[in-house]
Amino acid sequence: MKRYSVFAIAREAMRQHSGWDKAWASPEPKTHYDVVIVGAGGHGLATAYYLGKNFGITNVAIIEKGWLGGGNTGRNTTIIRSNYLQDPSAAIYEKARSLYETLSQDLNYNVMFSPRGVMMLAQTEHEIRGYKRTAMANALQGVETRFITPAEVKRIVPIMNIDGPRYPVLGALWQPRGGTARHDAVAWGYARACSAMGMHVIQNCEVIGVESVGGQVSAVATTKGTIGCTKLGIVVAGHSGHLANMAGFRLPVESVALQAMVSEPIKPAMDCVVMANTVHGYMSQSDKGEMVIGGGADHFNNYTQRGSWMHIEETVRALIETFPMLSRLKMLRQWGGIVDMTGDRSPIISKTPLGNTFINCGWGTGGFKAIPGSGWAMAELMAKGASPLAEEFSMYRFREGRFIDESVAAGVAH
């Protein structure tokens, strides 16, 4: 793999960019791999990358039923933060945030990480108490956050109306090292690095069955034939329950659609991420000038990747109270992603009842921000059989009553 650099750009400019290699190869699958990972989104690709980088395991296939990054990785609002209340959550999200800071250098691919800061508005007295509690927990966890006043909120985001008619801004939980990254670039960067290590990224290859011998996984049946494996990783977000059924076990997850939209591009208006959880809307401005807007998940189970007019109205109505300027913008496009929700709104990174089969799912609406930390933990679990970052996120915690409740503690799961 040729390294990307300013010198490479200059060299290729002199020969009409004819010497660039493909970012990743598209090989035909082999008959057997040491590890097969189902799902070539951010989490699956990160798992493969850290298996190679940290443990030297490179006989790996990452199988994707569609195109690389065509699922939730390319259908989110790119928010990165780690200011969670519960210790296990803060640990894995802070690991991810810290890895994001050097990810472009590690992958030799610009993921456009922008530590612009994430602000979570307190618009009720209850939220003030909750966010102050979170700030104190974050201090103990080594996560840099602080509670700021309405005046500081207005100074950071001048376009905000802090004297809203229903919910005035009473303060905010501020994480200055949070921010955004380019979602597609994260998937592409990991895929390129995996391919350079000799791993196979196999697209348009749907898994239609999981085979086992003596209680141990032996192969996956796909639309491109049967592929043998010693270990299997299931990392398929909203389709986790479907794959788990193929492997012979049931997951405590539900799949719903989460929608987002972007406005027409405008001149720079805000340089941080703002989340208004009381009215349930969040927004940032992309590098192209679009206002990236998201809200809540659907209230019913579904597998759609379309949006709905109900959520457009609900989300925009909520944000216009705090950002009146939005009322004059035109919507450019809208999309939906299929997210898998657990009962406590925390993920599952776990061994499964099928031997040598591991699953990474249940990230709900907060998966993008966790990609590097999730991949790190999943790779360690698959390679060593245990991971300190993944220990508390076992799928068996639900029957044992060891919940990691982030549904209320984090204000919102995004």
Helix (H, G, I), strand (E, B) or coil at 404: coil
Is the model's pLDDT at 272 over the cut of 80?
A: yes
Cβ atoms of 118 and 173 within 8 Å: the answer is no
Is the model's pLDDT at 411 over the cut of 70?
A: no
- Predicted confidence at residue 408, as pLDDT, reads 56
What mean pLDDT value characterizes the chain?
92
Residue at token pair 């799912």: 361
In the structure, what pLDDT confidence band is assigned to residue 371 with cuts at 50, 70 and 90? very high
Burial string for 266-289 (b: 16+ CB within 10 Å, else e) reads: eeeebebbbbbbbbbbbbbbbeee
Q: Angle at which helices 42-55 and 183-196 pack, to 10 degrees? A: 40
Cβ atoms of 376 and 101 within 8 Å: the answer is no
Sign of the C-alpha dihedral computed for residues 174, 176, 182 and 187 taken in this order: negative
Give me the amino acid identity at 106.
D
Is the model's pLDDT at 179 over the cut of 90?
A: yes
Q: What is the mean pLDDT of residues 164-171?
A: 89
Q: What is the pTM of this model?
A: 0.94
Max mean pLDDT range (138-147, 164-173, 254-263, 330-339) = 138-147
Q: Which one of 3.30.9.10, 2.60.40.10, 1.10.3720.10, 3.30.70.1880 gives the CATH number of domain 118-177+255-342? A: 3.30.9.10
pLDDT over 70, % of the chain: 98
Please tell me the distance from the alpha carbon of residue 333 to that of residue 338, in angstroms, as a whole number: 17
pLDDT tens sequence across 27-55: 999 999 999 999 999 999 999 999 999 99
Residue range(s) in the chain whose domain bears CATH number 3.30.9.10: 118-177+255-342
Joined tokens for residue 14: 């002199």
Beta bridge partners of 261: 293, 334
Q: Could you give the strand order of the β-sheet that contains 118-122, starting from the edge strand earlier in sequence?
A: 146-148, 171-175, 118-122, 273-276, 281-285, 291-297, 253-263, 331-342
Q: What is the CATH number of domain 25-82+84-109+183-252+344-400?
A: 3.50.50.60
Joined tokens for residue 120: 């979570």
DSSP run (H or E) holding 410:
none
In the structure, what pLDDT confidence band is assigned to residue 93 with cuts at 50, 70 and 90? very high
pLDDT tens sequence across 203-213: 999 999 999 99
pLDDT tens sequence across 314-346: 888 888 888 998 889 998 988 888 899 998 989
Please tell me the distance from the alpha carbon of residue 291 to that of residue 284, in angstroms, as a whole number: 6
Please tell me the distance from the alpha carbon of residue 15 to that of residue 8, in angstroms, as a whole number: 11
Give me the amino acid identity at 178.
G
Residue range(s) in the chain whose domain bears CATH number 3.50.50.60: 25-82+84-109+183-252+344-400
